[in-house]
Amino acid sequence: MEPTSIPHRTFAAFQGCYCSQLSSASLSRDLQSSTTAPLLAHSFHETRSSILSLAANEDYIFSGSQSRHIAVWDKNTFQLKSVLRGHTGSILSLEYASEEKWLFSSSGDSTVRIWSTETLQPLYVIYPYMGEGAGDIFSLAWSSTLKTIFFGCQNTSLQWHDFRDSALNPSLALSSSSEENPTSGTSTPNTRKAHKFFDSYPQYERKAADIYANNGVGRIRGRISPDSDHSDLATGEGLGVPATNVMDSAHYGYIYCMTMLSERDGVVQFATGSGDETVKIWNFSDKTPTLAHEFECNHGAVLAIAARGDTIFAGCQDGYVRVFDLETKTLVRTIIVQEGVDIIAMSLLKSDLYVCSANGSIKRLSASFDCTASWSGHKGIALSSITTRRSVLDDSGYWLVTGGNDECIKIWEIMPSRAGVRPSDEDEGYYHPHKSCIGSGTYSDTMRFALSKFISIPSISSDPTHKEDCRQAAIWLKKCLGQLGAHTSLLANGEDSHVNHVVLATFKGSVSDKPNPRILFYGHYDVITAPTTATGGWKSDPFTLTGRNGYFYGRGVTDNKGPIIATACAAADLLSRRALDVDLVFLIEGEEECGSRGFKATVKKHKDAIGHIDAILVSNSTWIADDRPCITYGLRGVIHCNISISNARPDVHSGIEGGAIAEPMIDMVRLLATLVDNNRVIQVPNFYDKVRPQTDTEKELYKLLSDVTQKPASLLASRWREPSLTVHNVQISGPKNSTVIPGKVEAQISLRIVPDQGLDDIVRFLHEHLQKSFDDLRTPNTLKINVSHTADWWLGDLDDHWFKALESAVQEEWGVEPLRIREGGSIPSVPYLEKEFGCHALQLPMGQSSDQAHLPNEKISLVNLQKGKLVVERFLTKIAIEDFSKNAS
């Protein structure tokens, strides 16, 4: 097998087929049925050859093979019409120019040949600049407007030949290019210059390079030895590419694929994909291509490319398809076809994308990126594909033509899907995912499907046995957000490698002259424990998303996996409609249910990667009732404190030592009694000094909320805006029976603090009070005080532009003014993120008061989830209209 028989791009495919696979993270739903796989209409066979390239016109199917020739197959009779010979290397790309009736072919022999599709005779041979130094010519694209053929080379150069100058007098073009650049490749196939690499002997033999050198390994790069029979090689007129028609280092890797995008007003736009993991967009008029934009794929070499309208599909080496939008210059979606298995070829038919992989499989993906068909197309690698109308005699449908290294060309009967495609789009042949998704419920389906996978991962951060589940949840969420269009990464903790990773994902808005507002969405993928249904009160498996009576049930559906997925789908929906004009940065941690261990250190370490932030959006709470939307504008802070009193003796018997020793339990009871008086007023000195008094506006608000909840306003105020102290438990050493005096007693207490109490001040006041009260007991026992966790209070700004935009979005979506509420609980990361990024935070509850967060049968309403997504869309759209970043304080 010659080195160019199967391009370098397929190498990783062999490894990918055997890689161990985790459970699929793909968001493409499997919508296949027993009738969705297309019918195999016919197949062609090429003995001892791989089918590397395909093209078609009204009458023929052209196949380029490893065997250096191009087979011409009659569409009507399925018989071999002719064989086009002339290349001396594998045929790597074919391109049909319909208006000229030309077929272009490129090869591992470093030439591009042009054939008449009417006479099936050779017309021209194009030699690239630098001749064989250009290496394999992997890709072709024809511009009918400029009468120019573009080709991408192994030496990373982009070259082109303009037939407006040379088509009428090719010999003139050849001679002029020869004078300008004697090394431009003007020799005929049988008389060429020696190549310093491909034709060189081993250095120790000290021989000069030789065009007939084979170095003991037979044919080199498909060259034919001098004693071979050349009688069947057609040459055509020779054309050389001048130095002016070359862009060196157009990529930092081989240019594997190329496609024409548009031809308007004398300017053509085309795209190239490369081994450097990028897709580049080029504009070309008369002289030199200019780089219009560069998309980063970051999923291995780009091996296949397809386009409809302003949407580009890039097939990558590890089984991913990246979907880009040209108008907004954004990543719209990432499709996981099959992880670790290279995507070698892709073809589009209206809204359907056909993907051929290195394991021989072929998949059809719909406009909503769902898999509507999957079948084994080839016994080996599926190397090439095209879609074409059937023959002139049978114009009733289309064919998908695929070629593989199993020596077969297969013809599959296909019909375009009409779902989501408007007549105008179909007439133009354009594919607009942002149009097909409007009103179709596509992202509602995606939201349900994604949430079902997310819920199935028991990411319980408090249980060490679920450490790997937490890691898999982070990996899955990274892939999920990536498929929805975000640029993603995992952030390691800055101090403790055992702390769960943070997921960072950025949905980049449309590219414009001014910077986009940047919103940080904070959430957490970890959940609390969920006992089995037999003992924990669950009516269904807590880690299986279950729909019942208008609700989704499962651990984490409301706290906090549901809101994360809803917000991500909101961004994806806007992105697909070209309506995302802000940057939405997801920062999702995996330790929130354990006090956000390591979160601050991680943010500090990766703050540059997170970037500038204008506002923070959080959705990690619930409404005050079940039938009225709310916005949360306040959270209490918390101080968790462990108190330990012990003596120097072991546990003793109360019948022997009772009354003779100072008992730690009695000291603990007396110490705890000093914290609160008979009216439940906290007795820590200076504790209430800075608590804000209740304003008249607040009193009116609490009266309104009292009418809604049928609860006293004073009760709501005490839960939300007044500080509190709780004794959680008291634990003792020893066997815990009624005859033992424990030698050590521990108690856990917490304080909830409110504006404007200083967190550090309250910690100091508490410590001082406990120590003084203990000293007053005059006991020989020992006191230890440990503040194990703190979180500051948070209060939003009701007059802030961000808050008003969010409030307006809720009102427009629900048709009623949202209630302004506060929460008695704490979210440690919210006030921290405000201080770290110097901006305001907003809290959008999506769940209802009856959602049972942290309890059995946790649920969230389907309506709330869907409307929550739409509220986020409205909010992001509103803040994009005004330059909110300038108003942020």
Domains of the chain listed by start with CATH number: 8-190+230-436 (2.130.10.10), 191-229 (no CATH), 442-635+794-887 (3.40.630.10), 637-688+723-791 (3.30.70.360)
Residue 219 has pLDDT above 50, yes or no: no
Residue 361, CA distances (Å) to 48, 154, 364, 383, 401 in order? 21, 27, 10, 11, 14
Cα-Cα end-to-end distance for the chain? 67
pLDDT tens profile 530-559: 987 667 789 999 999 999 999 999 999 999
pLDDT tens profile 779-812: 999 999 999 999 999 999 999 999 999 999 999 9
pLDDT tens profile 813-856: 999 999 999 998 889 899 999 999 999 999 999 999 999 999 99
pLDDT tens profile 274-328: 999 999 999 998 778 999 999 999 989 999 999 999 999 999 999 999 999 999 9
**Contacts of 861 by beta carbon, 8 Å cutoff, 6+ apart:** 550, 551, 847, 848
Residue 155 has pLDDT above 70, yes or no: yes
pLDDT of residue 494: 60
pLDDT of residue 22: 44
Residue 889 has pLDDT above 90, yes or no: no
Confidence of residue 266 (pLDDT cuts 50, 70, 90): confident
Mean pLDDT across the stretch 719-747? 92
Residue 285, CA distances (Å) to 147, 265, 268, 356, 380 in order? 11, 9, 6, 33, 42
Residue 198 has pLDDT above 50, yes or no: no
**Active-site residue among 276, 342, 592, 873?**
592
Residue 654 has pLDDT above 50, yes or no: yes
pTM as predicted? 0.82
> 38-42, 388-392, 622-626: which has the minimum mean pLDDT?
388-392
Residue 143 has pLDDT above 70, yes or no: yes
pLDDT of residue 235: 61
592 given a catalytic annotation: yes
Residue 36 has pLDDT above 80, yes or no: no
C-alpha span between 235 and 615 (Å, rounded): 66
Measured in whole angstroms, the distance separating CA 666 from the mean position of its chain's CA atoms is: 59
pLDDT of residue 288: 83
User: Strands (DSSP E) along 592-636, which ranges?
Assistant: 615-618, 630-635
526 given a catalytic annotation: yes
**Active-site residue among 318, 325, 342, 526?**
526
pLDDT of residue 615: 97
> What percentage of the chain has pLDDT greater than the value 90?
71
Mean pLDDT across the stretch 371-385? 95
Phi and psi of 786, rounded to 5°?
-135, 115
Residue 37 has pLDDT above 90, yes or no: no
> What percentage of the chain has pLDDT greater than the value 70?
84
C-alpha span between 356 and 404 (Å, rounded): 10
Torsion angle defined by CA atoms of residues 583, 589, 593 and 599, in that order, rounded to the nearest 10 degrees: -110
Residue 395 has pLDDT above 60, yes or no: yes
The count of other CB atoms within 10 Å of the CB of residue 152 is 28
Tell me what the pLDDT averaged over the chain comes to. Answer: 86
Mean pLDDT across the stretch 393-397? 70
DSSP letter, residue 511: -
pLDDT of residue 332: 94
User: How many CA atoms are closer than 13 Å to the CA of 587, on its beta-carbon side?
Assistant: 29
